[in-house]
Structure 1
Amino acid sequence: MMRLNVLLGMCYNVTLYPKSNRILLGWISALATVVVWPALAPLPVLVVGVPALWLLRRFPISFGFAAGLLYGQFWCHHLSGTDHPIPLGKMVVVAKLNSAPNSDELYQRNHWLVESVNDQTLPWYVSKTVELSWHRPPPLQLGQTYRLEVKLKPPSGVVNLGGFNRYRHLLSRHVVASGYVRRGELLRLQAHWRGELLQRLAAATALLPQGDMIRTLVLADDRSVTDERWQQMRKAGLIHLLAISGLHLSIMAGAVFTGLNWIRRYFFADARGHGLALVWLATAMAAIGYGWLAGMELPTLRATVAVVFTLLLLWVRRQARPWELLLRVAALVLLVQPLASMAAGFWLSFGAVSAILLFAWWCPRPTTRLRQLGWFFRLQIVLTLLMCLLQGVWFGTYSFHGVWTNILLLPYFSLLVLPLCLLLSLSYFIGLPSSWLQLADWLLWPIAEVAQFAAELTVGFGFLASSMVWPLCLLALAIAVAFYQLVAQWRLCSGVLLMSALMWWRLPVPQWQLDVIDVGQGLALLITHQQQVLLYDTGAGFPSGFSYAKNAIYPLMQQRGIAQVDTLVISHGDNDHAGGMGWLKEQVPIDLHIGHGGDRCQQGPSQWGQLTLSWFQAEADGNDGSCVLLIESATHRLLLSGDIEKDGEQAWLAATRDSKVDVLIAPHHGSNTSSSAAFVARTAPTHVVFAAGRNNRWGFPKSEVIQRYRQLGSTLWTSGQQGQIQFNFHGSGEILVETYRRNWFPWWYNQQ
């Protein structure tokens, strides 16, 4: 309890810290919250706010917070405002390839550094990174310069619970536009030196079972890492070992410093410490070199800046308190990359260091070796639990297995695997036979085996739904406090236990639920009722291997803790409805498959728990042959219409007596060939959902269709605008609607 009082006292007396520390604390607080800002202030307000900083000069924390807020908001406007750094539309650009291409893929998406637009050189101060897709490109190499005819638009992406927020990811990497290449002409043949290393290492490790992991650890080349490998590492809680971050750079810097300092002390002993400066300098250069090998993209740059600046502070101010070092490093990282907090790596890196410092302060390191081992074991448990929590909050799911796998493998990885993989690879680059890389493959074999074993464990569920993260974390905290101070502080323990119990309280559970998943210009609907799951369509799939089933539907299922699909309905065979069917059937157990590729869409009603399913399919080909499904409860009616057009609508109306519905998934994404006046009038929906991608090329939903529904007073929703849309149907007759952008994550970048 004494330490808790001291900690609270430190927080209360924060004004006693030196002025510079207080300014940095405010600066970090402002820029670390960029990921949850509700809106951006207008530029005129920000301009006026700059001289207003003078009024806060006597309040260091407020001054630092205001300065960070203004600095971050200016950057956000620069990257995402209406006045784009790079013009949008059809352009001719000269650009350099800035990311390693997948030479064996027909459809490539890479980052390019734009030098000029329509023969006009861009100013030095604007962000120049764009993401371009290119179908059937010529052989590309990192560093080549092309003249490209492109069509550019603002970057965007689908947003769903548990899924990947592509727009936030692009903003964190300062990507200001995306688009596709119409045609290109090679201007300069000179390739980047790193591209040559990528090719050499790929050829040398092509036949090694863990060759993909070697390339990822040494050169951040994850192009050949299979989906199976990613799944295994994620389920084992070891995914952070493959993503080069501050952990890898710190391990490498620690190994270099330890080795060089031992050589200095053993061979060049000097009581005055001569030569120590060279050791620090060589360590910093090694960290920078590793960052260059890894491509020095923004996440790697952030980690490199943090490690090098930490080395500098440790050398210059060896007596500085650790938390002050952390404060200065975080402030510098946010100065160099003001949107760094929009990336998970920022929180994982600084969260890990903060946890280590807090644990070391709370439980000082003992002096005896045996107790030091126990201290390290406890530190590893605390650190792993915190990383699991951060991953759960950030990604929506986390792995139970991460606790034991990290305790088992992290010391082995830190002390042996990473240093030797780097040493062997660098030796190969300067002339060592490629056969020596077999040793690196053997070193990585235990990690691959543990990941596979953890992924195949059938006891329990590998991932925990994010809705359970906070209750279980508070429960774990309560157990820890009770275990630590059960006798002396029973009041505190009982209070924490009560808080944990309250977190299990839930709002009234809906009788059934519909999730309209944001899959761009396509359709995917998830209906849950009494622990049963019905999936209607799967969105599109592409030859590149990308599919919305893998990148949107499956993550949502993991986030919800759904392990199987009871009924899969594929309305018809168009790619935007059935493209992910093959991948999904390989990955997820499916009891019943109805529609395209499965059993015939039956006519008439069937019972599904307390709901009635009414099936209909017209005797037609194409869109009008879609499998139409009407779901009814005692109080609500939901119509899933697929892509039927006017003829299909008339056939359904003729076969249905009571056609009025509460929620309608608009036919054919809101095209002019559907939602006829008769269909709209007969269904008279309270809510209408258009499954249409943001800024799609067809202009769906069409304005005429929108007007027909508005004349009836229907509430309109578009998945491309709102993101994932959730309808909660309650037995009382109430329908509660929540959306990703408005209710769950109403942050500024989700409102752009």
Structure 2
Amino acid sequence: MDKRLFSFCFGIASIIIWPWLPSGGWWIPLACLVGISWQKRPATACLLLGIIWSLCYSHWQLNWLQDPTLFQRSQLIAGTVDSVQAQGLNKNRLIVSLKSLNGQALSPRPRVLLSWYSEQTPPQKGEYFQSISQLRLPHGLHNPGTFDSARWLLGQGITARGSVTGTLTHQVHADSLRTQLVKHVKAQTAELPAQPWLLALSIGDRSGLKTEDWGMLRGLGISHLFAISGLHIGLVAGLGLLVGRLTGNRWVSVMLAITLALTYAWLAGFSVPTQRALLMLLLWLAVYCWGRFWSGRRILLLTISLLLAVRPWLALDHGFWLSVLAVAALLVTTNWLGGRQIWRLQLGLTLLLLPLVMLLFGGISWLSLPVNLVLIPLFSLLLIPLLLLAALLMLPAPTLASGILRLLNALFEPLMGALHWLNDSVAPWVWLSSYAQGISLFVLLLPLVLLPKARWMWLLPLSLLLFQLLPQPRWQVRVLDVGQGLSVLVTQGRQALLYDTGNRFISGFNMADGVILPVFRRLGITKLDYLVVSHDDQDHSGNRDYLANTVPIRRQWGAWPEGQRCRAGQHARWGELTLTVLWPVIITGHSNNDSCVLHISDGRLSVLLTGDIEAKAEQGLLVNQELSSQTLASQASPLAAELLLSPHHGSKSSSTAAFNQAVNPNWVVHTAGFNNRWNFPSSEVVARFNKQGVKQITTGEQGMVHLVADGSQWRLMQEKRPGAWYNKLNTWLNGTKPLE
């Protein structure tokens, strides 16, 4: 049975690595294979069943997106709010289950993520409303080491995004019992400094936690304590069993454990981690009452099978696998390593999950083990029981509940202050580059060769080590995918130059934290030799000051309050490369045409970085080129470059035919956001480069564009957008390849 369950789960989970989504008709030949193999190879049949179900479920959920006008104009949507998350002043995020689109009923009901920009109070959970929204695909930025928003959205069952500024109709419902209780909890804790922590632990609302709070939780490795899941559900169920045993009746203890667990899960809003823990608990209690013995492995496999059977896209959720593998690590520690004391359990959990944490989060916390050894008993035996008691007493005995909450505040406030101090003082989180991760995985996987009948596995750590030791190209150019903006990373070995910094938004999200710094960490870049800011536009200079305060920078060129302004004729030698500023001659006050145009060359290959210059500046560059050619008596054009970043993101106001001919590139990269409102790159610009026979790439479609110096030509590392099928949904929107 265990083998069949595992095969079924593996079949569903294989959706993570599918390079494309096959057409729906593929289920028929796969079903025939299931019938053929069921008698002699049932595990293989279960594997194929998992694949078939993933395939059919995905087409079933994505079918509504086939409307050709869905993303081309505003839509009349109607649906029910599944959840609301506050994002700041007059901004909220709603996850909505759509009932109809332009008056047409939808089945199944798709889930969409809507950004709410309005002074109105947004609809609350469970309420029905109608509104006008411009929908778009769950398409995310694509850079190595950065957050994969497309995968995360589908993992939550969300198949489109959009924004609304108000409602056309809104049916307000009476508050449910849970809503009333949540309001009471928020009201009772409104004046308590520890409210964000109390709400996170009691009702699963973590929206009050700040960026520095999340940094502390990650740094100390204690994020799991504030995600209501197995630890919390298991604790309250254990309390129920303990109290029930005093009656001497097995059924009473089981029913009390189930009641407390269901109450806590209900209070937490039945989030996915809570559902997972609750299902595993109910299975274990059912087996316990049945009087049979099932191993923890079988219960875990059955739990995973049931969850994935209901929602196959859970396989795309990192949190799902992190919690599943945490339980598996506990079983391994308990059964194989003989660890039953808390320090052994935590040690085994830490070591076994280390590779996964390192791959998912790009680093490790060296202080996680001792901090968890102290906090897990404290939370389990004192803080969570008190908090659950306060929540249960909130409606029948609010005065007593308020007293318990004040006691918890008195405990939490100094505790969280001490944890923040500890994290800030010793900085326990260590970011690891891809090279360091490879070496670490080599060391961690090396013991696999000691397993019986597993000597062949030495190939895995050895291949990882050999991959890390491969020779690197002399220099590389990475045009980062920062949406509608610009940021280019040029490296030669460990030396790095960054041209422009991407945008920074009022909401707090910025391309430095979201893209640039994660790429730096992955590559092991700890300092910049040059940070060149082409001009003052926000989508180019938005993170200039932030990066200056975060990363050591040797030289600052361009649009800096204090730094070396770009001037035509400026030269510098940088390792094996020559940096030459071609523009501006003088600052004119026209922001775009004052962009710093930088030419980088090794004598054989070159790249031209152009910022946002337009036709007028291009004409000026052509005049300067003619003067330079006459002065130097040379046929070589100072503008010539094999790689060109199209001026002004491919706007029709730039990339004139004369300029394109003077540069004469082999490659052109358009730094334009996916489905941007300006329709960059312009069709006119694309046509000009096509006529010239130039290869063109757009970051919004391709993701990060990575080119390496290969002799006298540039070599593109990825011909098409990399990643699995969920990173290529835009091909369906563009009509080039309908998901298959």
> Normalized against structure 2, the TM-score is what?
0.87
Aligned twin of 1:393: 359
Q: Which has the higher mean CA deviation after the structures are superposed, 537-546 or 56-65?
A: 537-546
Q: Is the CA contact (8 Å cut-off) linking 1:663 and 1:685 kept in structure 2?
A: yes
Q: Is the CA contact (8 Å cut-off) linking 2:607 and 2:643 kept in structure 1?
A: yes
Q: Is the CA contact (8 Å cut-off) linking 1:31 and 1:334 kept in structure 2?
A: yes
Aligned twin of 2:652: 672
Following TM superposition, by how much is the alpha carbon of 1:518 offset from its aligned partner in structure 2, in angstroms? 1.2
- What amino acid maps onto 2:203 in structure 1? L
Aligned twin of 1:13: none
- What amino acid maps onto 1:706 in structure 2? V
CA distance, structure 2, for counterparts of residue 195 and residue 613 of structure 1: 62
- What amino acid maps onto 2:145 in structure 1? G
Q: Is the CA contact (8 Å cut-off) linking 2:390 and 2:401 kept in structure 1?
A: no
In the alignment, structure 1 residue 295 sits paired with structure 2 residue 263: no
Q: What secondary structure, in the 3-state scheme, does the structure 2 residue paired with 1:33 have?
A: helix
Q: Is the CA contact (8 Å cut-off) linking 1:550 and 1:584 kept in structure 2?
A: no
Q: Which has the higher mean CA deviation after the structures are superposed, 714-723 or 495-504?
A: 495-504
Following TM superposition, by how much is the alpha carbon of 1:740 offset from its aligned partner in structure 2, in angstroms? 10
Question: Residues 119-138 of structure 1: matches in 2 within 5 Å?
Answer: 119-123=103-107, 126-138=108-120
Aligned twin of 1:523: 486
Change (3 A) 1:695 1:494: closer
CA distance, structure 2, for counterparts of residue 588 and residue 299 of structure 1: 37
Change (3 A) 1:481 1:450: farther
Match of 1:594 among 543, 557, 570: 557
Aligned twin of 1:728: 708
Q: Which has the higher mean CA deviation after the structures are superposed, 429-438 or 531-540?
A: 429-438
Aligned twin of 2:224: 240
Question: Residues 268-287 of structure 1: matches in 2 within 5 Å?
Answer: 268-269=247-248, 274=249, 276-287=250-261
Match of 2:350 among 371, 384, 395: 384
Change (3 A) 1:264 1:460: closer
In the alignment, structure 1 residue 337 sits paired with structure 2 residue 337: no
In the alignment, structure 1 residue 358 sits paired with structure 2 residue 338: no
CA distance, structure 2, for counterparts of residue 249 and residue 740 of structure 1: 48
In the alignment, structure 1 residue 719 sits paired with structure 2 residue 719: no
- What amino acid maps onto 1:525 in structure 2? V
CA distance, structure 2, for counterparts of residue 607 and residue 358 of structure 1: 56
Aligned twin of 2:610: 641
Following TM superposition, by how much is the alpha carbon of 1:535 offset from its aligned partner in structure 2, in angstroms? 2.3
- What amino acid maps onto 1:189 in structure 2? V
Change (3 A) 1:55 1:493: closer
In the alignment, structure 1 residue 617 sits paired with structure 2 residue 584: yes
CA distance, structure 2, for counterparts of residue 213 and residue 740 of structure 1: 47
Question: Residues 139-538 of structure 1: matches in 2 within 5 Å?
Answer: 139-143=121-125, 144-190=127-173, 192-193=175-176, 194-253=178-237, 257=238, 259-266=239-246, 268-269=247-248, 274=249, 276-316=250-290, 318-364=292-338, 373=341, 376-430=342-396, 431=398, 432-445=400-413, 448-449=416-417, 451-453=419-421, 455-457=423-425, 462-478=430-446, 499=462, 502-503=465-466, 505-538=468-501
Identical aligned residues as a percent? 30
- What amino acid maps onto 1:359 in structure 2? T
CA distance, structure 2, for counterparts of residue 265 and residue 592 of structure 1: 71
Following TM superposition, by how much is the alpha carbon of 1:71 offset from its aligned partner in structure 2, in angstroms? 0.4
Q: Is the CA contact (8 Å cut-off) linking 2:640 and 2:664 kept in structure 1?
A: yes
CA distance, structure 2, for counterparts of residue 589 and residue 237 of structure 1: 27
Following TM superposition, by how much is the alpha carbon of 1:394 offset from its aligned partner in structure 2, in angstroms? 2.4
- What amino acid maps onto 1:601 in structure 2? R
Q: Is the CA contact (8 Å cut-off) linking 1:526 and 1:535 kept in structure 2?
A: yes
CA distance, structure 2, for counterparts of residue 117 and residue 481 of structure 1: 54
Aligned twin of 2:18: 37
Match of 1:547 among 510, 518, 525: 510
Q: Is the CA contact (8 Å cut-off) linking 2:116 and 2:122 kept in structure 1?
A: no
Q: Which has the higher mean CA deviation after the structures are superposed, 712-721 or 27-36?
A: 712-721
CA distance, structure 1, for counterparts of residue 407 and residue 428 of structure 2: 35
Q: Which has the higher mean CA deviation after the structures are superposed, 591-600 or 209-218?
A: 591-600
Q: Which has the higher mean CA deviation after the structures are superposed, 226-235 or 607-616?
A: 607-616
Question: Residues 70-81 of structure 1: matches in 2 within 5 Å?
Answer: 70-81=52-63
Aligned twin of 1:654: 623
Q: Is the CA contact (8 Å cut-off) linking 1:101 and 1:140 kept in structure 2?
A: no
Change (3 A) 1:307 1:706: farther
CA offsets 1:300-331 (integer angstroms, 9 cap, x no match): 43444344334334433541122111121111
Q: Is the CA contact (8 Å cut-off) linking 1:106 and 1:544 kept in structure 2?
A: no
Q: What secondary structure, in the 3-state scheme, does the structure 2 residue paired with 1:220 have?
A: coil
CA distance, structure 1, for counterparts of residue 470 and residue 62 of structure 2: 37
Aligned twin of 1:57: 38
Q: Which has the higher mean CA deviation after the structures are superposed, 707-716 or 456-465?
A: 456-465
Change (3 A) 1:246 1:631: farther
- What amino acid maps onto 1:235 in structure 2? G
Q: Is the CA contact (8 Å cut-off) linking 1:510 and 1:728 kept in structure 2?
A: yes
- What amino acid maps onto 2:329 in structure 1? A
Q: Is the CA contact (8 Å cut-off) linking 1:347 and 1:390 kept in structure 2?
A: no
Q: Is the CA contact (8 Å cut-off) linking 2:668 and 2:695 kept in structure 1?
A: yes
Q: Cα RMSD over matched residues?
A: 3.2
CA offsets 1:542-562 (integer angstroms, 9 cap, x no match): 222222222222222333343
Q: Is the CA contact (8 Å cut-off) linking 1:40 and 1:73 kept in structure 2?
A: yes
Q: Which has the higher mean CA deviation after the structures are superposed, 420-429 or 693-702?
A: 420-429
Following TM superposition, by how much is the alpha carbon of 1:690 offset from its aligned partner in structure 2, in angstroms? 0.9
- What amino acid maps onto 1:70 in structure 2? I
CA distance, structure 2, for counterparts of residue 63 and residue 662 of structure 1: 53
Following TM superposition, by how much is the alpha carbon of 1:176 offset from its aligned partner in structure 2, in angstroms? 2.0
CA offsets 1:138-168 (integer angstroms, 9 cap, x no match): 1125233322111222222112222111111
CA offsets 1:146-198 (integer angstroms, 9 cap, x no match): 22111222222112222111111111111122112254234222265444444
> Normalized against structure 1, the TM-score is what?
0.86
CA distance, structure 2, for counterparts of residue 680 and residue 161 of structure 1: 31
Change (3 A) 1:575 1:495: closer
Following TM superposition, by how much is the alpha carbon of 1:221 offset from its aligned partner in structure 2, in angstroms? 1.4
Q: Which has the higher mean CA deviation after the structures are superposed, 592-601 or 547-556?
A: 592-601
Change (3 A) 1:461 1:21: closer
CA distance, structure 2, for counterparts of residue 289 and residue 84 of structure 1: 41
Change (3 A) 1:557 1:662: same
Structure 1 residues not aligned, in runs of 5+: 1-19, 366-371
- What amino acid maps onto 1:42 in structure 2? S
Q: What secondary structure, in the 3-state scheme, does the structure 2 residue paired with 1:184 have?
A: coil
Q: What secondary structure, in the 3-state scheme, does the structure 2 residue paired with 1:544 have?
A: coil
